Structure formats: structure tokens, C-alpha cells
Amino acid sequence: MNCRVVVEAAVPVYDVGSPDEAVRIAISKTGEMLNPDLNYVEINMGERSCPHCGEELEPAFIAADESLVALELEMTVFNVERDEHAARIARKEIGQRLENIPLDVLEIEELDEEGEGESDESADDAESESLDEEETESPSSPSSEDDDVLPEFEELIDE
């Protein structure tokens, strides 16, 4: 089973003057921490609302030129047993790169079978392309040791 997991992150930003500036800096800062290892994680502005009246608020809270920005980080987790497993994997993968930033799982959505087939095909294509590249690189690289090992192995099979 494959799942799409959305995690909320509270990203601190310093020396900002407006909520828009805080959001831009938080997205940039988060992207730097996640890349290149987790470049497949989508970063979006979070949604906040007043707990008493339900009124929608800015994703950034600013006090004394410092801000706490709510961001939503979305990633797809493949081959999981159940929703809780997907949530743990997403929190671990993202949390390892975003040190000292609190995370909360907002949403876990199971992906349909059709979407899985398409992503598996694209993963297979990428894997075959990388294998093709390795095969084209290996003849040009000095591999005299590899050439010596293969005939000995074939001789063992013949015996």
C-alpha cells in the first residue's frame, strides 16, 4: 500500500517584518534543509485558524521581529503496511533533516491502485536508465580485475 502523508511543521524565522516575508524565508530555509536528500517533499503554506471563533489566520505568527511559520510538508510513502506505519516513516525521514522543528501528522491518504501502477512504472524506467548508464560506464572504466574474475567463475561452472 502507498500513502500520501501531510506533516505540519512549525518553522522559526528571525528578523522579519511581515507575514509574507516570514513565509518566503521559512519555505526557503526548509527547502535547504530537505535538499538534496528529500527533494521529493512538497512544501506548502500551512493553514491556521482561531480555536475559538474559527476565523482563518495568517500561516505566520510574528512577535518582536521573530516568526513561527506553519508549513505543510507532503510526501508519498511506498510499500507500507498501514497508515500508522506511513506516518512514522514520514515523520522520521523529514524529522531527521529538520532538527529542532516540531512536526505533527495532519493527513494520511491511501493512494489508489491506478496511481501506484503509474509510479511503479516510472520507478522501473528510472531504475533501468540508471542500470543502462552503469553498463555504458563500466567498459570505459579500468576493470581488468573484473575481466579476470569472470573467466575463473565460468571455469568453475564447467567443472
Note down pLDDT in tens along the chain; length 159 residues. Answer: 899 999 999 999 999 999 999 999 999 999 999 988 888 899 999 888 888 888 888 889 999 999 999 999 999 999 998 999 999 999 999 999 998 999 999 999 998 765 444 444 444 443 434 444 444 444 444 444 444 445 555 565 665
pTM more than 0.85: no
Closest by CA to 14, choosing from 71, 65, 70, is 65
